[in-house]
Structure 1
């Protein structure tokens, strides 16, 4: 077993494992950790615990120290350098006529490394850009291409619901989202209504998908002949969450009947028909 501590660098950021290095750590402690990019500021997600060494993909890097007031002040000061790095890089992108959009720059806490994030429709040969921006900033530079979802997470904003984007506030990982989830929830398949600011399907389509799927499995199929307390009819729809079934009665009237009061009309249904979907 190996001692580990879970740490993330920013709100809703991915969680990484580090060696607690003997420090007594608690949730929300701010620490300085060693990473492949140099020293970084991070926040403890949970107190140290143990995991099987075989479950680790690579050796753990250590927690260097609990963050000091100076570390916190330096992190705030670096924000100006981050913005300056983006401005410098934008000038070079225009000069080299590269088809890319600069999103953000992030200096490591020790200022020995800067990562510049960008988006582009296709792969970009940015080798010349790296050489020139490295000479200009006099620091080791890494350019990293990100997708639309990561761009939205990094830039931030608000969704159609009026709340801060889920990816910025609590989603640390992006789960796959499919059009099937929208269909299962009877949502309009208009891309403008089921897409987020990133242009991809809304992450929240995944939240209630399993609930709708389970609820719809209990509902009778459309077209099924049924018997209700108000007469015989044919199922034409329903409200899965409230377990209400919409029935077109033989009289021509429409009725909304609780699922528990519905039973199949054995005389009127097809031999292969069943009550549920």
Structure 2
């Protein structure tokens, strides 16, 4: 085992191992490491850890130091110098009329070398361009031709799936992709549909290739002679993702039926004759899809219920309810006169409180009030209502007759009646 630290250079996905030289480097720390091109500014993606000796590329280069503020200012200055070099190089390419496309410019940490990446369809003679750039920047100039996949990785972007490019996000190296993978996965062979932004086949075709190859190895081919729970037949179509096959039965050739791969017994894989094939008497069993049981969370009920206290409270309520019932039963059959005789008190009668002649004529009063309101609304009084009402005795102001309660001036007014046309009290229009 070897102790190393994992380092990534700017905008790169591949990790490189370096010797920490006895230092403890935390993750996401800027460091200065020794490379074949000299010291470089990088970031530690994983701190001190152990790896197998076979995973380390010899010779293992070491860590120079942990980056300081001065190192970060130097790296920022180099980024500005790269932008300037990019614009100058584009103008020089146009002046020399070279068929090349500038992609990216990188400047070494010490500023002694500037690296230009470009793409071109063929070989390009850029010797004069190198001389002009060396005279401008006074540094070592290196031009490197790259492919379209490297260009997409450096520039970045969004694929047809709507996500960033895999090569610029997490892929360390490019994977070999062939058109055979698209055929195996039953994809469209239209180049515009299976190609990425770089113009090459999409890298994601490689992700599920192993799963497709394993499923195809276990499933029958087209036109295979198979035995199903419903009888024998020939395979007309297969679905690799669902692992189902469509079988055209001998008894019912008008339509194909769909079966799971485990419901099919292959008697002959692929095209061929049925002569000499023995059909088993026992047919395969039907496939039953497993029902995923939902795991319910465990519910723990915590209660402070005390059965003794609950029984005592229940008995107390019943006793109080029975006492109230007995009291209500004793008082329910008593008459006011009997109760008064028991208490040695004279019984009072509601009719005795008021004289018989002092009972007001409510019917006449209500008629008088209604007739008065009708009269006030129409300007005339109803003579029949006035005659029916009893005559009042004249008495001095402030004196009330004996046995008659004083009228309450704040008594509730009678409800108004709405007449036709929305006029109050049903009064006629004057």
> What TM-score, normalized to structure 1?
0.88
Q: Which moved more, 1:14-23 or 1:182-191?
A: 14-23
Q: Aligned match of 1:269 in 267, 274, 278?
A: 274
Q: Which has the higher contact order (CA 8 A, sep 6+)?
A: 1
Q: After TM superposition, give the deviation of residue 178 of structure 1 in Å.
A: 1.2
Deviations 1:190-224 (A, max 9, x none): 11111111111111111000000001111111001
Aligned to 1:23: 23
More displaced stretch, 73-82 vs 149-158:
73-82
Equivalence for 2:261: 259
Find the counterpart in structure 1 of residue 151 from structure 2: 151
Q: What is the match of residue 56 of structure 1?
A: 57
- Following TM superposition, by how much is the alpha carbon of 1:56 offset from its aligned partner in structure 2, in angstroms? 3.2
**Contact 2:13-2:169 at 8 Å conserved across structures:** no
Q: What's the secondary structure of 1:99's corresponding residue?
A: coil
Q: Does 1:43 align with 2:48?
A: no
**CA displacement at 1:51 relative to structure 2:** 5.3
Q: How does 1:117-196 map to 2 (within 5 A)?
A: 117-196=117-196
Q: Secondary structure at the match of 1:141?
A: strand
Query: How far does residue 154 in structure 1 lie from its aligned partner after superposition?
Result: 0.3
Instruction: Point out where structure 1 has 5 or more consecutive residues left out of the alignment.
Output: 273-277
Partners of 1:200 and 1:28 in 2: CA distance:
34
Q: Tell me, what secondary structure is at the counterpart of 2:213?
A: helix
Instruction: Provide closer, same or farther for how the CA distance between residues 270 and 6 of structure 1 changes in structure 2, counting only shifts above 3 A.
Output: farther
- 3-state SS of paired residue (1:247): strand
SS state at 2:232 partner: strand
Pair 210,271 (structure 1): closer, same or farther in 2 beyond 3 Å: farther
CA distance in 2, matches of 1:29, 1:42: 9
8 Å Cα contact 1:25/1:48 also seen in 2 = no
Q: How many residues align?
A: 271
Contact 2:225 2:232 in 1 (8 A): yes
Question: What are the Cα deviations for residues 101-129 of structure 1, in whole angstroms up to 9, with x where unaligned?
Answer: 10010112222221110011112222221
- Write the mapping of 1:90-129 to structure 2, written as runs, cut at 5 A: 90-129=90-129
Shift of 1:15: 2.4
Greater shift after overlay, 182-191 or 2-11? 2-11
Q: Is the 8 A contact 2:236 2:256 kept in 1?
A: no
C-alpha separation between the residues in 2 aligned to 1:144 and 1:271?
66
Report the CA distance shift for 1:54/1:197 in structure 2 as closer, same or farther (over 3 A): closer
